[in-house]
């Protein structure tokens, strides 16, 4: 459902992403981990179509993002780490506006909005201005907007930021249901190791723009020859001492 092949992203002398290839299947939750500055956000922005790769290809649901951007983005839901919301709208008005952007029929948009606001426990706040929402409520509202058109692919950047334990548990359950019952491919970038360990089917670890390890937790452990049982400790073991390629350090590409 998501396929990156030899993707590179260069900023002058800095190579933010280097020869990145990975696949995420329908119904799979894929965790994308890496230290700060490893290339996670750049990769997320390329997947969302906000940045174009310097080379390589990105396919979403079989559609090449460069040559068929409209078809690729039509099946994509994107939840950024710093969502922008029109705070003078009510929650209901924001979702109505989002439905209009997707050209959803009015009755379908309204029923889908209600379904999602109830799912994310926002229905009782539907007429309240967004500026009065807590950070966690805003995060759940932006998730509702991303899921409004029933995307086949969901790309999420740091989903649990600002969520209390109840909200985090609710959102994890929704992501599992989307993958298991609806066959949605879920791509999650996170620093929260416990989330990745509990939620993700497979994990990719990026360092200095390169994918250095990929697989289930057990496969990561075997590949590293590690006895670490905690994902955080395993992550630190895998990413410590990895040297940047010459291009990432500012040398010749």
The domain limits of the chain are 1-75+152-253, 81-150
Can you give the pLDDT at residue 173? Answer: 95
Can you give the pLDDT at residue 28? Answer: 98
Can you give the pLDDT at residue 253? Answer: 36
User: To 10 degrees, the CA torsion angle through 203, 206, 210, 214?
Assistant: -20
DSSP 122: -
Contact 156, 48 (CB under 8 A): no
End-to-end CA separation in angstroms for the chain: 31
CATH topology of domain 1-75+152-253: Rossmann fold (3.40.50)
Q: How many CB atoms lie within 10 A of CB 201?
A: 14
Note the pTM of the prediction, 2 decimals.
0.91
Can you give the pLDDT at residue 41? Answer: 92
Angle between helices 91-101 and 106-119 (to 10 degrees): 130
Can you give the pLDDT at residue 164? Answer: 87
Can you give the pLDDT at residue 243? Answer: 63
Flag residues of the chain having pLDDT under 50. Answer: 247-253
Can you give the pLDDT at residue 194? Answer: 86
Contact 213, 31 (CB under 8 A): no
Q: How many CB atoms lie within 10 A of CB 16?
A: 22
């Amino acid at each position: 459902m998501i396929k990156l092949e030899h993707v590179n992203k260069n900023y002058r002398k800095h190579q933010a992403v280097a020869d990145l290839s990975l696949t995420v299947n329908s119904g799979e939750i894929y965790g994308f981990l890496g230290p700060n500055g490893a290339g996670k956000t750049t990769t997320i922005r390329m997947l969302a179509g906000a940045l174009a790769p310097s080379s390589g290809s990105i396919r979403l649901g079989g559609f090449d993002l460069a040559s068929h951007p409209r078809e690729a983005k039509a099946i994509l839901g994107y939840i950024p780490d710093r969502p922008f919301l029109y705070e003078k709208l009510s929650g209901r008005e924001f979702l109505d506006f989002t439905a209009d952007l997707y050209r959803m029929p009015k009755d379908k948009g309204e029923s889908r909005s209600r379904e999602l606001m109830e799912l994310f426990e926002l229905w009782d706040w539907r007429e309240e201005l967004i500026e009065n929402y807590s950070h966690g409520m805003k995060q759940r509202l932006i998730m509702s907007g991303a899921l409004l058109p029933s995307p086949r692919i969901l790309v999420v950047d740091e989903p649990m930021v600002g969520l209390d334990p109840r909200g985090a548990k609710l959102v994890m359950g929704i992501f599992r249901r989307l993958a298991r019952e609806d066959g949605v491919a879920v791509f999650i970038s996170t620093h929260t190791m416990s989330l990745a360990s509990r939620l993700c089917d497979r994990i990719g670890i990026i360092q200095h723009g390169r994918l250095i390890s990929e697989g289930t937790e057990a496969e990561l452990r075997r590949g590293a020859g590690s006895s670490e049982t905690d994902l955080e400790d395993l992550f630190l073991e895998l990413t410590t001492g990895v040297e940047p390629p010459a291009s990432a350090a500012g040398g010749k590409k």
